[in-house]
């Protein structure tokens, strides 16, 4: 039983290291498409699952409630709020469209 627990812990540690290694190669808080990230989010996801999706560490906004943000090159952004280490809600923001003459 102890061997199984130790093996499971080793697998979790290895997974966390792999996710962080992949995230280390991109700027903090950057995502290729905020709209696509918004479409892939589900309530109850962990921050580790979100970092796996974005391949980037988020921009830390607040501790209470735990809030993180990602933006794309076009200015769109997604702000995520975690309650109890689980994604509870998120908000997609898009830049204002400039009026054309």
Strands 59-62 and 66-71: antiparallel
pLDDT-derived band at 101, boundaries 50, 70, 90 = low
pTM for the structure as a whole: 0.82
101 domain residue, yes or no: no
33 domain residue, yes or no: yes
Range(s) of the domain holding residue 64: 2-93
**69 contact partners, CB below 8 Å, separation of at least 6:** 29, 58, 59, 61, 77, 78, 79, 80
Q: Dihedral (C-alpha) 8, 58, 64, 89: value to the nearest 10 degrees?
A: -80
Q: Where are the alpha helices (DSSP H) in the chain?
A: 2-23, 34-40, 47-54
**4 contact partners, CB below 8 Å, separation of at least 6:** none
41 domain residue, yes or no: yes
Q: By percentage, how much of the chain surpasses pLDDT 70?
A: 97
CATH number of the CATH domain containing 33: 3.30.1450.10
Of 7 and 26, the structure prediction assigns the larger pLDDT to 7
- Number of domains the chain contains: 1
| pLDDT one-digit tens code per residue, 47-62 | 999 999 999 999 999 9
Mean pLDDT of 23-46: 92
Please tell me the predicted confidence (pLDDT) of residue 35: 94
């Amino acid at each position: 039983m102890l061997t199984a627990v130790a093996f499971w812990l080793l697998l979790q540690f290895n997974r966390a290291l792999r996710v962080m290694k992949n995230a280390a190669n991109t700027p903090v808080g950057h995502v290729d498409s905020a709209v696509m990230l918004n479409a892939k989010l589900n309530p109850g996801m962990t921050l580790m699952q979100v970092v796996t999706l974005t391949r980037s560490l988020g921009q830390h906004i607040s501790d209470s409630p735990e809030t993180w943000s990602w933006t794309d090159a076009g200015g769109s952004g997604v702000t995520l709020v975690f309650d109890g280490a689980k994604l509870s809600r998120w908000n997609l923001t898009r830049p204002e469209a400039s009026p054309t003459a």
